Amino acid sequence: MIRLEAVTKTYRMGRVEVQALRGIDLHIESGDFVAIMGASGSGKSTLMNIVGCLDVPTSGGYFLDGTDVARLDDDQLAIIRNRKIGFVFQSFNLIPRTTALHNVEMPLIYAGAPNRRPRALEALDAVGLANRADHQPTELSGGQQQRAAIARALVTDPAILLADEPTGNLDSGSSVEIMKLLVELNEQHARTIVLITHERDIAAFAKRTVELRDGLIVRDERRAA
């Protein structure tokens, strides 16, 4: 499903070169639930950008669902993001002044897909937000906004769901709710989920934990079933 081979990423900050990733080999099977952990500066955000096809590696290979995405241009990356990746962000990132339904419809619009409205409603229903379809983000609670974001991530039926600190802006009650929703999506609908977090108790919901430090994988454990 996801295969990273010797992936490195080097940023140039003025005259200084920063090696964010120093050679990552990572293999994620379909249906897995992986938490990527690490302190700030460990390279986990860079890794998530590359896995999410928002950025390309400096060297190494990245195969997503059989496609080599390491050498694609911006528009091709946009198409891959649209079809194969569903993003869930820490700050929800719903488009303001736009209803939940329309937010969820958005990826389908860019895909030029048919039956957008029923599919968007179905995705909202799957996260238990069907009765809030006509509400704008400002009219929803944090937990509800994140559910809408998850519905938007799922609506295109992507290969992976990429959640970047999805509970970072939520209270503990809503956090548990959202994590339970992710677990349910993984277990009952066989969704592949990659979760980025720095909190151990959030990572504990995942089946597998990968820990990064200074641009290298230092730990890769599977939770005993």
Partner 1 sequence: MNIFEALRVAFAGLLANRLRSSLTMLGILIGVAAVILLVAVGNGASVQINNQIQGLGANVIFVYPANAKGAGGVSQGFGTSQSLTMADVDAINNRQQDQDVVAAIPIANSGGQITYQNQNYFAPTTGTTVDFPQVRDYQIAEGSFFTQDDVTAQHRVVVLGQTVVQNLFGANDPIGQTIKINRQSFRVIGVFATKGGSGFGSQDNVLVAPITAVWAYLSGGRGKGISQIVASASSAGTVSQAETEITTILLQRHQISDPSLADFQLQSQQDILTQANSIATALTLVLGAIAGISLVVGGIGIMNIMLVTVTERTREIGIRKAIGARWRDVLMQFLIEAMFLSGLGGALGIALGAALAVEAPHIPAIASSTFPPPVVSIPSVLLAFGVSVGIGLFFGIYPANRAARLHPIEALRHE
Q: Which residues bind partner 1 (CB under 8 A)?
A: 49, 52, 54-55, 74-75, 78-79, 81-83, 87, 89, 93-98, 106-107, 109-112, 152, 156
Separation between Cα atoms, residue 6 and residue 37, nearest integer Å: 19
DSSP assignment letter at 43: S
In the complex, least distance from residue 52 CB atom to partner 1, rounded to whole angstroms: 8
In the complex, least distance from residue 202 CB atom to partner 1, rounded to whole angstroms: 21
Beta carbon nearer to partner 1, 81 or 147: 81
Beta carbon nearer to partner 1, 6 or 109: 109
* 3-class DSSP state of 53: coil
In the complex, least distance from residue 152 CB atom to partner 1, rounded to whole angstroms: 7
In the complex, least distance from residue 177 CB atom to partner 1, rounded to whole angstroms: 23
Q: Is 136 exposed, middle or buried (0-12, 13-18, 19+ CB in 10 A)?
A: middle
Starting at the edge strand that comes first in sequence, how are the strands of the sheet with 216-222 ordered? 85-88, 160-164, 192-197, 33-37, 208-213, 216-222
Beta carbon nearer to partner 1, 83 or 213: 83
Beta carbon nearer to partner 1, 62 or 87: 87
Measured CA to CA in angstroms, residue 29 lies from 41, 127, 154, 175, 199 at distances of 26, 24, 18, 26, 23
Question: Within the chain, how many helices (H) and strands (E) appear?
Answer: 7, 10
Beta carbon nearer to partner 1, 18 or 109: 109
Beta carbon nearer to partner 1, 191 or 205: 191
* 3-class DSSP state of 111: helix
Q: Is 198 exposed, middle or buried (0-12, 13-18, 19+ CB in 10 A)?
A: middle
In the complex, least distance from residue 194 CB atom to partner 1, rounded to whole angstroms: 15
In the complex, least distance from residue 13 CB atom to partner 1, rounded to whole angstroms: 13
